[in-house]
Amino acid sequence: MNTTDIVTVTNLSKEYGDFTAVKGISFSILRGEIFGFLGPNGAGKTTTINMMIGLARPTSGTILIDGFDAVKKVKKAQSIMGIVPDESNLYDEMDGFDNLCFCGSLYGMRKDEREKRAKELLEEFDLIKAGKRPFKAYSKGMRRKLTIAAGIIHEPEILFLDEPTTGIDVESARQIRQLLLNLKQRGTTIFITTHYIEDAQRICDRIAIIVGGNIVANGTVPELMESVSHGHSIQLAADKDLEPLAEELQAHFDGCIVKTGTDHTVTLISKEQIALSPVLQYLDSRGISVYEAKELRPSLEDVFVKVTGIEAIELKKEKDKGGMLK
């Protein structure tokens, strides 16, 4: 184990009867980073989190947290964890403040200590007024925020969040992302699962893409993008249909792959950098005006589509059950 790793998962599997939900995955999380688990519904994200936090027993494999076996010494591991489950599962009858204090007490916080932290958190999470209302009277976004507050009241070293931004509005989701970035600033390691590509891209230092119980890609965002990049690629938008010129263009720029689109565009792809002026001059000589030229960079979405074979549009459909539209 690397000393900078706070979590090391090796060959972790989980079988439910004869169905294998997680198939021998391995990954590690660096101290202080935000590590994202990105995958569609049923990929095995929650199952993996449940095994890491001690709610589910692995069928095989090991989980090291802060250097010790988190399956055998589950209570020791749990003492440095904060956990935010996919459902906001606080106590309906209790108000926000009491809920937070109760959660603090489960981690052995003294009364004065937990009351002080609870007040601070209500303030930080913009829930002061709601602090005296019972949890059942909270809106979805408020519930989620209080659940996150409950997960960090004891200032855990590592925080696990299962889909923290699913099913809440854009503004609440933005607030939550900001809160997570603040926590990271203060040194908390964060493990987050999501099926929002944008979420992963915005806040995660490293991302593992999980599909059907397998990790199919794992790396920093630039590393992942590198894996789908074909070198350099520029796209030009012209005033005329360029299809008829396709062969001619390909012959002229034989160092590039040339693709013409039906929407008056042409894309040039090359291992080398592509100089723009010869292309513009050539098109100009054919009486074609270019309105726009842009470099095409692969997005995390391209990476996702490539490694999973799942079209981003499909993932969007899933997430609309949640509703965080951009």
Partner 1 sequence: MKSWIAFWSILKKDIKNYYLKPPNISWGIIFPLSWTLMQMIRSSGGVNLSEIREMLPGLMAMSILFGTTSMLAVTITFERKGRSFDRLLIAPISLGTMVVAKLSGAILFGIFNAFVPVIFASFFVDLAGIKWGAVLLTVFLIAITSTLLGLMIAVSAKEVFEAQTFSNFFRFPMLFLCGLFLPISELPIFLRPLSYLLPLTYGTDMLSGSIIGRSMLSPILCVLVLLVFTLALFTLCQYNIRRKWFL
Ligand X SMILES: Nc1ncnc2c1ncn2[C@@H]1O[C@H](COP(=O)(O)OP(=O)(O)OP(=O)(O)O)[C@@H](O)[C@H]1O
Q: Where do contacts with partner 1 occur on this chain (CB under 8 A)?
A: 16, 47, 50, 53-57, 75-76, 78-79, 81, 83, 85, 87, 89-94, 102-103, 105-110
Which residue type is seen at 286?
R
Residue span binding ligand X (CB under 6 A) among the ranges 38-46, 61-69, 94-102, 275-283: 38-46
Judged by phi (left if over 0) then psi (alpha if -120 to 50, else beta), residue 187 lies in left
Cβ neighbors of 145 (< 8 A, separation 6 or more) are: 125, 126, 127, 172, 175, 176
Q: How many positions of this chain bind ligand X (CB under 6 A)?
A: 12
Q: Is 43 in the site for ligand X (CB under 6 A)?
A: yes
92's contact among ligand X, Mg ion, partner 1, none, with CB below 5 to 8 A by partner kind, is partner 1
We find the least distance from the C-beta atom of residue 162 to Mg ion, in angstroms, to be 6
Which residue's CB is nearer to partner 1, number 143 or number 206?
Answer: 143
Give the DSSP letter of residue 157: S
Residue 43: helix, strand or coil by DSSP? coil
CA distance 8 to 67: 8
Q: Is 89 in the site for ligand X (CB under 6 A)?
A: no
167's contact among ligand X, partner 1, Mg ion, none, with CB below 5 to 8 A by partner kind, is none
Using CB under 6 A, which residues numbered 175 to 214 contact ligand X?
Answer: 195
Kindly write down the DSSP assignment for every residue of 207-231, as one continuous string: EEEEETTEEEEEEEHHHHHHHH--S
Hey, how many other C-beta atoms are within 10 angstroms of the C-beta on 203?
Answer: 19
Which residue's CB is nearer to partner 1, number 69 or number 93?
Answer: 93
Give the DSSP letter of residue 293: E
102's contact among Mg ion, ligand X, partner 1, none, with CB below 5 to 8 A by partner kind, is partner 1
We find the least distance from the C-beta atom of residue 44 to ligand X, in angstroms, to be 4
We find the least distance from the C-beta atom of residue 30 to ligand X, in angstroms, to be 23
At 66, list the tokens: 């802060």
Taking the CA atoms of 29, 32, 38 and 42 in sequence, report the sign of the dihedral they define: positive
CA distance 79 to 68: 12
We find the least distance from the C-beta atom of residue 29 to ligand X, in angstroms, to be 18
Separation of first and last alpha carbons in the chain: 39
Give the DSSP letter of residue 135: G
39's contact among partner 1, ligand X, Mg ion, none, with CB below 5 to 8 A by partner kind, is ligand X
42's contact among Mg ion, partner 1, ligand X, none, with CB below 5 to 8 A by partner kind, is ligand X
60's contact among partner 1, ligand X, Mg ion, none, with CB below 5 to 8 A by partner kind, is none
We find the least distance from the C-beta atom of residue 277 to ligand X, in angstroms, to be 48
Q: Which of 8, 25, 43, 46 binds Mg ion (CB under 5 A)?
A: 46
What are the strands of the beta sheet with 232-238, ordered from one edge?
257-260, 265-270, 232-238, 290-295
Which residue's CB is nearer to ligand X, number 4 or number 41?
Answer: 41
Q: Name the H helices within the chain.
A: 45-53, 74-78, 96-106, 111-124, 140-152, 170-185, 197-203, 221-228, 246-252, 276-285, 300-308, 312-319
Q: Is 45 in the site for ligand X (CB under 6 A)?
A: yes
Binding stretches for ligand X (CB under 6 A): 16, 19, 21, 39, 41-47, 195
> Under the rule (CB under 5 A), what is the footprint of Mg ion?
45-46
